[in-house]
């Protein structure tokens, strides 16, 4: 067990390619909770969350070649896939909604293989979001957790489009500064 | 935007966040597809945006998800936990006229317990069958989807096969790419000697206009061909394909020697 905990993502993926079930279990243990949290926040549906979570890891098992290091880091890729799937699921109930965001190269600014690093970053992100002005935080949450665009946020909140754009831009600038300093 | 580049780096974060609409979104996506520098910035922005997931309230999945996953990858449902058996408490025998009733209750209780165990076993078997069928169905759906994508690419009239020739001095290998411009799909199939330590091979699509686009990083295993399909970004019109040797994990743009290469004739 200790060896699994210390193994890098790349080493575990290589073992998944060799059909090593313990390696997949180790990756699940490392990242399932993080993915489950974001899926559940977007979907607010435990059953749908668990279906998608299981399917993401089953796909990682079935087609590990879909992930390669050119996509950056495994947790970054998994988080993008999880968010895309959850928002797609949400939008199936909303015929007016747009297309799914394509997943691609994702470069996480930190190494998530260590539980300590994950915890530190979790505290940092929560702190950064809590420190945003309320309206900016609301815009970020509507965009990230509900998949809404500028104009959809404006329609939802009743705020002018320009105001929404300014709030999101300011929020993104602040988060970028905060997360950059956390990663260096 | 200046020369197609966004004037502000935050635009990459807004695109990664999915906040951009309409023309603003299309223009930036089109530019990123042909600009390696901006593609790298977008990758970094995607990483920053992905971190927002950590702002969600923490909620661990139920242990059953992992059990189902492991059962699914083994192609069979997991064993349910053993049922709780009798507690071991003893019922004192009555010593009077109520003995007959107690005997009847005991018989009834035993019959009820037997029925309960029977139904529990039936339920467990049915749940196991449903789990196995579900796992099998999901596997078949994945396999069918993949097979239909391959079939569509292979049978489509617009698909061209581009042999990738071994370059002078390169490790032994041979591969080809099947490419369909209209579908925007490519399939790589090939076999190359394993990459040296700390190196990976990387497939590149060289478009008519713009810089090469990464189409996959791979580390071949001796005697096992590599193959995968991928959808190219919208608007990319491939001219040729190349496999280069890069640092492990690949690079945003080609830096190493060309191992295999081929052009669309």
- Judged by DSSP in three states, B241 sits in strand
Burial A16-36 (b: 16+ CB within 10 A, else e): beeeeeebbbbbbebbbebbb
B53 closest CA partner among A136, A102, A145 = A145
Identify whether the C-beta of residue B7 lies closer than 8 Å to the C-beta of residue B37: no
CB within 8 Å: B61 and A145? no
Report, as an integer, the average pLDDT of B134-138.
69
Most confident of A158-162, B78-82, B111-115: A158-162
Enumerate residues 6+ apart whose C-beta is below 8 A from B112.
Answer: none
Q: Give the pLDDT confidence score for residue A101 in this predicted structure.
A: 37
Q: Indicate the class that CATH gives domain A114-184.
A: mainly alpha
Q: Give the pLDDT confidence score for residue B103 in this predicted structure.
A: 76
Q: What CATH number labels B159-263?
A: 2.60.40
Q: Give the pLDDT confidence score for residue A121 in this predicted structure.
A: 83
Identify whether the C-beta of residue A43 lies closer than 8 Å to the C-beta of residue A18: no
Residues of B in contact with A178 (CB under 8 A): none
Q: Give the pLDDT confidence score for residue B144 in this predicted structure.
A: 63
Q: Enter the pTM of the model.
A: 0.55
Percent of chain B with pLDDT over 90: 21
CB within 8 Å: A122 and B53? no
Token pair, residue B251, equals 């690079």
Token pair, residue B142, equals 């994945």
Q: Alpha-carbon distance B170 to B244, whole Å?
A: 10
Q: How confident is the model at residue B148 (pLDDT cuts 50, 70, 90)?
A: low
Q: Give the pLDDT confidence score for residue B248 in this predicted structure.
A: 80
Q: Give the pLDDT confidence score for residue B259 in this predicted structure.
A: 93
Averages of pLDDT over each 10 residues, chain A, 184 residues: 70 90 93 95 94 93 77 84 90 47 62 75 88 95 95 94 94 87 56
Residue of A68, A153, A166 to mutate for B, most B C-beta atoms under 10 A: A68
Q: In sequence order, what E strands does chain B have? A: 159-166, 173-180, 185-192, 199-207, 213-218, 226-231, 238-247, 258-263
The answer on pLDDT for B163 being more than 80 is: yes
Count of residues making up chain B: 265
Q: Give the pLDDT confidence score for residue B92 in this predicted structure.
A: 43
Q: Alpha-carbon distance B104 to B90, whole Å?
A: 17
Q: How confident is the model at residue B143 (pLDDT cuts 50, 70, 90)?
A: low
The answer on pLDDT for B132 being more than 80 is: no
Q: Give the pLDDT confidence score for residue B230 in this predicted structure.
A: 79
Token pair, residue B137, equals 């169905």
Bridge partners for B202 per DSSP = B217, B244
Residue of A54, A63, A70, A108 to mutate for B, most B C-beta atoms under 10 A: A70
Q: Where are the domains of chain A?
A: 1-109, 114-184
The answer on pLDDT for B247 being more than 60 is: yes
Q: Give the pLDDT confidence score for residue B95 in this predicted structure.
A: 57
Q: Alpha-carbon distance B202 to B200, whole Å?
A: 6
Q: Indicate the class that CATH gives domain A1-109.
A: mainly alpha
CB within 8 Å: A144 and B216? no
Kindly provide the ipTM of the predicted complex, given to two decimals.
0.87
A39 closest CA partner among A24, A28, A29, A54 = A54
Report, as an integer, the average pLDDT of B192-196.
88
Q: How far is CA B17 from CA A93, A177, B96, B173, B199, in A?
A: 21, 16, 79, 41, 33
B66-75 pLDDT per residue, tens: 999 999 988 7
Å from B238 to nearest chain A CA?
Answer: 18
Question: Tokens 């058996």 — which residue?
Answer: B85
Residues of A in contact with B56 (CB under 8 A): 37-38, 40-42, 145
The answer on pLDDT for B14 being more than 90 is: yes
CB within 8 Å: B72 and A58? yes
Region of poorest pLDDT, from B28-37, B203-212, B229-238: B229-238
B251 closest CA partner among A165, A98, A101, A72 = A72
Identify whether the C-beta of residue B199 lies closer than 8 Å to the C-beta of residue B171: no
Q: Give the pLDDT confidence score for residue B12 in this predicted structure.
A: 92
Burial B76-100 (b: 16+ CB within 10 A, else e): ebbeeeeeeeeeeeeeeeeeeeeee
B90-112 pLDDT per residue, tens: 334 445 666 667 777 888 888 88
B174-192 pLDDT per residue, tens: 888 888 888 888 888 888 8
- Rounded to whole angstroms, the maximal C-alpha distance in chain B is 103
CB within 8 Å: B53 and A70? no
Q: Give the pLDDT confidence score for residue A38 in this predicted structure.
A: 96
Q: Which among B61, B216, B217 is the nearest to A50, CB-wise?
A: B61
Q: Return left, alpha or beta for A12; rule: phi > 0 is left, psi -120 to 50 is alpha, else beta.
A: alpha
Report, as an integer, the average pLDDT of B190-207.
88
């Amino acid at each position: 067990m200790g060896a699994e905990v210390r193994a890098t993502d790349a080493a575990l993926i290589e073992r998944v390619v060799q059909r090593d079930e313990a390696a997949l279990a180790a990756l699940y243990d490392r990242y399932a909770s993080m993915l489950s949290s974001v899926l559940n926040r977007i979907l607010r549906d435990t059953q749908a969350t668990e279906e998608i979570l299981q399917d993401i890891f089953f796909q990682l098992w079935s087609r590990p070649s879909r992930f390669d290091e050119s996509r950056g880091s495994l947790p970054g890729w998994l988080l993008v896939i999880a968010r895309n799937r959850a928002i797609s699921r949400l939008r199936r109930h909303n015929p007016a909604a747009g297309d799914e965001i394509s997943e691609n190269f994702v470069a996480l600014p930190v190494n998530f293989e260590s539980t300590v690093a994950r915890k530190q970053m979790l505290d940092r992100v929560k702190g950064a979001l809590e420190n945003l002005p309320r309206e900016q935080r609301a815009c970020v949450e509507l965009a990230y957790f509900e998949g809404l665009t500028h104009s959809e946020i404006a329609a939802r909140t009743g705020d002018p489009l320009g105001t929404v754009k300014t709030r999101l831009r300011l929020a993104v600038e602040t988060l970028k500064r905060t997360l950059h300093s956390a990663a260096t | 935007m200046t020369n197609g580049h966004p004037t502000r780096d935050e635009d990459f974060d807004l695109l990664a966040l999915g906040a951009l609409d309409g023309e603003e979104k299309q223009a930036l996506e089109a530019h990123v597809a042909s600009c390696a520098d901006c593609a790298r910035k977008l990758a970094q922005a995607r990483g920053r945006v992905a971190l927002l997931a950590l702002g969600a309230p923490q909620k661990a999945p139920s242990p059953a998800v992992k059990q189902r996953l492991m059962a699914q990858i083994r192609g069979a449902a997991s064993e349910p936990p053993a049922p709780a058996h009798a507690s071991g408490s003893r019922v004192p025998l009555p010593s009077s006229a109520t003995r007959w009733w107690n005997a009847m209750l005991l018989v009834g209780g035993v019959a009820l317990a037997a029925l309960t165990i029977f139904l529990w076993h039936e339920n467990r078997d049915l749940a196991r069958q449903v789990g196995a069928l579900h796992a099998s169905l999901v596997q078949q759906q994945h396999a069918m989807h993949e097979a239909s994508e391959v079939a569509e690419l292979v049978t489509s009239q617009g698909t061209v096969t581009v042999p990738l020739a071994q370059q002078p001095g390169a490790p032994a290998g041979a591969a080809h790419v099947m490419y369909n411009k209209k579908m925007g799909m490519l399939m790589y199939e090939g076999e190359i000697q394993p990459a040296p330590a700390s190196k990976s091979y990387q497939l590149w699509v060289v478009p008519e206009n713009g810089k090469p686009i990464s189409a996959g990083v791979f580390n071949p295993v001796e005697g096992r061909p590599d193959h995968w399909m991928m959808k190219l970004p919208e608007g990319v019109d491939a001219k040729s394909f190349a496999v280069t040797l890069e640092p492990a994990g690949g690079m945003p743009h080609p830096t190493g020697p060309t191992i295999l290469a081929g052009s669309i004739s």
